[in-house]
Amino acid sequence: MSAPAVTVRLAEDPADREACFRVRKEVFVAEQNVPEEIEYDALDAHAVHVLAVREDGVPLGTGRLLFGEVAAKKTGGDPAVGSLGRLAVLREARGLGVGVALVRAIEEAARERGLSVVDLGAQVHATGFYERLGYQAYGPVFDDAGIPHRSMRRAL
């Protein structure tokens, strides 16, 4: 059985944004028990959101990029550093390259905004995924929503 064709696009219209939030709700709130009140935040309004969909339009994954002043608060104050976050792939789409496509789309959005580095907080179990994409871990393990995380960074 071949993998389904997947398209990743910027989520610029309300329907795409809502699809991103539904994917996040399924992965983070329902599957990982992240409290819904902390999953969605004021930063969503300032972020670039990306959405992965199947050929038939069914959403499979999402992620967001924070940049500029909003990102600088999360990444140590450097305006050249973007913050990748809220990367979520539905269980049935894992292992099909959706996560890689989302990360690369976010990196491209970062380049288009003049950023030279992308920073992220990876769930510890996912650090190997990000390492394969060129990210390097730094700093100690920290808790985010009851889940162990590690900071990671990649120069673009």
- Among residues 133, 124, 128, 125, the alpha carbon closest in space to that of 151 is found at 124
Q: Are 91 and 129 in contact (CB under 8 A)?
A: no
pLDDT of residue 4: 63
Q: What is the pLDDT of residues 6-19, one digit of tens each?
A: 999 999 999 999 99
Q: What is the pLDDT of residues 19-72, one digit of tens each?
A: 999 999 999 999 999 999 999 999 999 999 999 999 999 999 999 999 998 888
Q: Are 117 and 81 in contact (CB under 8 A)?
A: yes
The structure's pTM equals 0.94
What's the pLDDT band for 75 if we cut at 50, 70, 90? Answer: confident
CA distances from 67 to 63, 70, 85, 124, 139 (A): 13, 6, 11, 24, 21
